[in-house]
Amino acid sequence: MPTHHAIDYIEFTVRDLAEAKRFYAEAFGWRFTDYGPTYAGIQGADGEVGGMEQTDALRQGGPLVILYSEDLEASLDAVLAAGGSLAKEPFAFPGGRRFHFLDPSGNELAVWTAA
């Protein structure tokens, strides 16, 4: 059951759905449900939490999706090994550290860990 006023679903566009699925599966262990050739749902522990749509015109200026990691350096290594690129080097902020990366379609996401 969705929670009132809570983030319920994150959706972003990608240039190559197969490559995006490969990248996120390899970097973060994500699982997907395909809904046709241009859309895949992102599966979470309790159901679907988001989706990716393949399109030539990427949606720009959307919200920054921030993922949590228990091991920031291992997550950074996984992102780079999967073919992502670093947008912002790891940096400290009150309460933790984080880095930003670009996925193969150019979407910027961030990963953080507690201090």
33, 72 contact by CB (below 8 A): no
Percent of the chain with pLDDT over 70: 97
Domains contained in the chain, CATH given: 10-56+63-114 (3.10.180.10)
Beta bridge partner(s), residue 40: 34, 52
Q: Is 69 helix (H, G, I), strand (E, B) or coil?
A: coil
Give residue 101's pLDDT.
Answer: 95
Whole-model pTM over 0.95 = no
Amino acid sitting at position 35: Y
- Per-residue pLDDT of 96-115, as tens digits, reads 999 999 999 999 999 999 98
Q: Is the predicted pLDDT of residue 7 greater than 70, yes or no? A: yes
